[in-house]
Amino acid sequence: MPPTHEHASATPAAEFWESRYAASDRIWSGRPNATLVDVASALRPGRALDLGCGEGADAIWLAQQGWHVTGIDISPSAIDRARSAALDAGLPSARASFLVQDLAEWQPVERYDLVTASFLQSPVALARGAVLRRAAAAVEPGGHVLVITHAAPPSWAAGHDVASHRFLSPEEELAELALDADLWVTELAELRRRVGTAPDGSPATLDDTVVLLRRH
């Protein structure tokens, strides 16, 4: 999802995201987030939950590494694409399942060894901290929460008005999560730079905040 706005639009989230996904055949590249791949590769597979899974690339990659994954997104079009991509990858629903759900109303009913949220940032209203805390409460002892967010505007946005966007530093991400320090250990809280491609095809850089916490 794109960066959070300080003053979120009043457009209902379900309407906004379904309109965005339905407007094109595919929004994302179909490749998993490289930072998620790097961090999660060191974790023992178990049950995983991907919040705001979009078209499913991260969840599918996790399932291919041995995780049993549930992906949740508010857009039916996104979930349809995720399910199709999982089938194309030869993954049964027992390994990679996908649900249409508004995270603002969602309550976990299972326990997880990993909760991931990659760019769970929205230009429409989203009680993001509350969503992440509910998910974290469903993590088993020894399990992890991995959150990856935009830390700064992309390099191609230089000179554009990005004042309405909220970019989270590692410290701000931890503060928004507000998890009990007696229950959680911070294993990563850092900035990472990745190389990308600007809309005009030129080389670009993007800065991300990466936070990994483990439950005692």
pLDDT at 160 (0 to 100): 53
pLDDT at 124 (0 to 100): 78
pLDDT at 126 (0 to 100): 82
pLDDT at 9 (0 to 100): 46
pLDDT at 156 (0 to 100): 80
> 10-residue block means of pLDDT along the chain (216 residues)?
40 88 84 95 98 97 98 97 97 96 94 96 84 98 97 76 74 96 97 88 92 97
CATH number at 199 reads 3.40.50.150
pLDDT at 6 (0 to 100): 36
pLDDT at 98 (0 to 100): 98
Q: What is the DSSP string of the chain?
A: -PPEESS-B-S-HHHHHHHHHHTSS-SS-SSPPHHHHHHHTTSPP-EEEEET-TTSHHHHHHHHTT-EEEEEES-HHHHHHHHHHHHHTT--TTTEEEEE--TTT----S-EEEEEEES---SB---HHHHHHHHHHTEEEEEEEEEEEE-S--GGGTTS--TTEE---HHHHHHHH---TTTEEEEEEEEEEEEEE-TTS-EEEEEEEEEEEEE-
How many separate domains does the chain show? 1
pLDDT at 196 (0 to 100): 83
Question: Where in the sequence is the domain holding 83, given as residue range(s)?
Answer: 4-215
